[in-house]
Amino acid sequence: MHAVAEPTKETWRFIDSGCCDAYENMAVDLAITQAYQGTPTLRVYGWKPPAISLGYHQSLSDLDMERCARDGIDVVYRPTGGRAVLHSAEITYSVVLGRDSHLYDPRVMPVYERISQGILAALQLLYIPIAFERSGKSPRNYTQGELGSLCYASSIKYEIGHEGKKLIGSAQRRFGDVVLQHGSILIGEDHLKLVDYLAQRDPDWQRSARKFMQEKTICLNELSPVPLHYDQLALALRTGFSQHWGLHLVDGSLTEEEKNQSQALKEKMHQQISEAAGHEA
């Protein structure tokens, strides 16, 4: 009697990039997307120095660029949409996949859900009491006016949070049949400092904005029974995705094509910020 063969696991590449500057981080995500050849990638990384990323439709005029420069805060445009995010005490994930993956769907929200399930499985390995935030069918503003420039001013179905507070901010964009989704998983409270770098300088408004973000967000070290660090989260994300979706994750690095493409994109992103800053001046 012949043994029944085990189903073949879908193979993904796992890249732990460690801490990189803002332009490197965004250029690599986009390069992996543009060079996609059929193997999905789960990548994790941190930010050094701290940086503010803007959605690709957002205006640089939302920020106090002089203060960002003075405090050594990089500013970069993401290849995805959304609002301003200050990246510091966090781990960022990115997923790039195509229609050859069983996590793919031509609709946005099913892919959000599937990626969220992988992250949820990862955080459960660390005993984090979180769940899906399923309220709303589309991005929804909690407030109007200038608070809308904050990433955490909105919630989206299939985001992950705790008791109505957002833990992870994610954004997704399609490049033909290739999906890029990346997001910030908050470890500490540095994201609250974003209000210090917005162009709105009224002290009362800043206090209101900071309070608003405190009410709408929560970080892992407020939920975890022990302090968490980047390396623990990187391993948990690798394991959680693998176990939940039955994936075969292979440790990897960028291809030569991706390296060359990311270098060109990095230079282009630097130029984009310089030109935008000159236009706003």
Superfamily of domain 11-275: Bira Bifunctional Protein; Domain 2 (3.30.930.10)
Residues carrying an active site annotation: 151
87-145 pLDDT, tens digit each: 999 999 999 999 999 999 999 999 999 999 999 999 999 999 888 766 544 434 334 44
Please tell me the distance from the alpha carbon of residue 24 to that of residue 31, in angstroms, as a whole number. Answer: 10
- Going by their DSSP bridges, the two strands 247-251 and 10-20 should be labelled as parallel
149-186 pLDDT, tens digit each: 555 555 555 678 888 889 999 999 999 999 999 999 99
For tokens 């230079």, name the residue: 267
Please tell me the distance from the alpha carbon of residue 200 to that of residue 44, in angstroms, as a whole number. Answer: 32
Instruction: With a cut of 90, say whether residue 29 has pLDDT above it.
Output: yes
Look at residue 153 in the predicted model and tell me its pLDDT. 54
User: 137 Cβ partners below 8 Å, 6+ apart?
Assistant: 157
Give the start-to-end residue ranges of the domains of the chain.
11-275
